[in-house]
């Protein structure tokens, strides 16, 4: 198998991300940058779009003779790790921030092959407690409570 066949999907992915970067940059102009005294949210969006555009543009032109970033097994693992993040987004309104964050962190820890159950449970408990204290008690953000209200 030639090197081109190994990486044929990667340039397409890079082009999609370049287009996404351009879209984000254009949207940042619509949102607005604010002023020097009060920067608007468009400034951060512009920065993110420039990073996405430039890194993928570099990777597109630099990757012509290299091996693929993802092998098939790694790509499948990456996509399965995305599932808890998507579940977190969908379930947070129904179940609330604390239980969904705990379960999703636990799923990600097990998908990353952390040994046994002790360390994933401690990681999930610590992450959930830290984020809850930070966002709810220190920053006073209104986290979704779910049906626990």
Are 121 and 60 in the same domain? no
Are 35 and 91 in the same domain? no
Per-residue confidence at 62, pLDDT binned at 50, 70, 90? confident
Are 41 and 85 in the same domain? no
Structural domain for 116, as ranges: 72-148
Distance CA 79, CA 9 (A): 15
Query: Which pLDDT score is estimated for 69?
Result: 58
Partner residues linked to 34 by β-bridges = 39
Are 59 and 90 in the same domain? no
79 pLDDT more than 60: yes
Q: Is the dihedral of CA 48, 53, 56, 61 positive or negative?
A: negative
**Which of 65, 81, 115 lies at the terminal end of a domain, its last residue?**
65
Q: What is the mean pLDDT of residues 106-135?
A: 92
Q: Could you say which DSSP state residue 113 is in?
A: T
3-state secondary structure of 28: helix
Are 38 and 54 in the same domain? yes
């Amino acid at each position: 198998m030639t090197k081109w066949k190994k990486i044929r999907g990667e340039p397409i992915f890079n082009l999609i991300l370049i287009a996404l970067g351009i879209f984000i940059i254009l949207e940042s102009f619509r949102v607005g940058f604010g002023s020097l005294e009060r920067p608007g949210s468009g400034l951060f969006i512009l920065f993110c779009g420039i990073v996405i555009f430039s890194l993928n543009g570099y990777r597109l032109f630099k990757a012509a003779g290299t091996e693929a970033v993802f092998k098939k097994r790694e790509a499948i693992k990456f996509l399965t790790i995305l599932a808890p993040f998507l579940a977190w987004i969908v379930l947070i309104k129904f179940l609330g921030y604390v239980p969904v964050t705990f379960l999703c962190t636990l799923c990600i820890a097990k998908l990353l092959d952390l040994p046994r159950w002790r360390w994933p449970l401690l990681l999930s408990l610590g992450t959930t407690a830290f984020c809850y204290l930070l966002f709810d008690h220190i920053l006073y953000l209104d986290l979704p409570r779910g049906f626990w209200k």
